[in-house]
Structure 1
Amino acid sequence: MSLKRNLLLAGVILTGSVGLAHAEMAATTASDIEVRSGPGAEFPTVGVATRGSPATLDGCVEGSRWCRVDVNGMRGWVYAQYLSVEQNGAPVVVQDHRDDLGIPTITYEKTDPVTTGGIQSAQPDPDDQLLGRVDEDSGNIVAITPPEEVRTYIDDNPVDTVQLGGNLAIGATVPQSVEVHRIPDYQYSYIDVNHRQVLVDPGTRRIVYVYR
């Protein structure tokens, strides 16, 4: 099936209050925390970031506790009080020191399903296959960190992309009709969904990792 659209995502506009050169900061998770697809408890959980995980902090929403991070192979939103940043050689909580740390301010704004700023959102075509919904117990899934040789193997052994509608998130279920591809001496298999490389548990067919 030919690619009709980019990965189905909620449209967002994200802008920083500072230049791109200063728009990212190194942070660490202070506890096991849920990573969500948007800045609010109403958004689906992408996965769980384990305590002590290194993260890249893009910035936080003004007047909100939510910050956007890259952590454990996931990109999403977490509470600022569960993130720490090193200041003068000691870790400090982001929520308590946002002004002191100069945390960038970013905005989150839902948009209509059109291309905006290079990000495209669209409703699935009736003929598209769909990812299953994220299971309710997906929050119990431990975020994995695949070894580098797994990515190398996937890059060296490309497969045809599969066009799927729905949210590409850890815990979502891949349809039975989609072929998954085994990785030698590794417990997870892989597929290419909308030109994104994804690791899948071949037993449950649940997504366990999404490469950026």
Structure 2
Amino acid sequence: MNTATRSSSAPDALRARLLESLSTAVLLLDEQLCVLYANPAAEQLLASSLAQLKQQSISIFFESAAWHTASLLHTLTTQQSYIQREARLHRPGTAQSTMVDYIVTPLSSAQLLIEFQPLDRLMRMSREGSLSVANQATRAVVRGMAHEIKNPLSGIRGAAQLLARELDRTELREYTEVIINEADRLRALADRLLGARKPPDFKRINIH
């Protein structure tokens, strides 16, 4: 192998390793918009191996394929990159599809590079983040209400105890006991809503 061959193959091998390590799905298309290369992330996204994807027309993956292929062919002519938002991709041989954004970059008049970013995962992360924020807000409201409940309960319980001392009839003191017991029950509920007051005390236990 001569020096020129070695110098050209080294960058090609490096580019291949970089593409394969990307978490972004990447397809390389020829001038007929057929797949020349797909990295592992693209294989996973489209649920197909590189051998299955090679020489397949990109049109089989797109909903509204005519519009997308026309845009891609136009890019081969203009050599201008562009971003397409919220495109629906179909997985060949299945009823499954996924929503993506994609970036088209012309490498030459005969090759296009497409990078896909699945939106389903991003939207799920956004929903989970929103739910987490809402959950934290709810917990803050509940804790505030629990504090507001505990303060008057202490007053009600104390007043019932004082009243019980002033009552001579046993049947009347039974009513104050009901008030005290219910106040204690509500206070215990408020304590549960507030959560643990101190961290758990972990101890080593020999399980053998």
- TM interval, shorter chain, is under 0.3
Select the structure with the greater relative contact order (CA < 8 A; seq sep ≥ 6).
Answer: 1
TM-score by length of 2: 0.22
Quick check: which one's strand share is greater? 1
TM-score by length of 1: 0.22
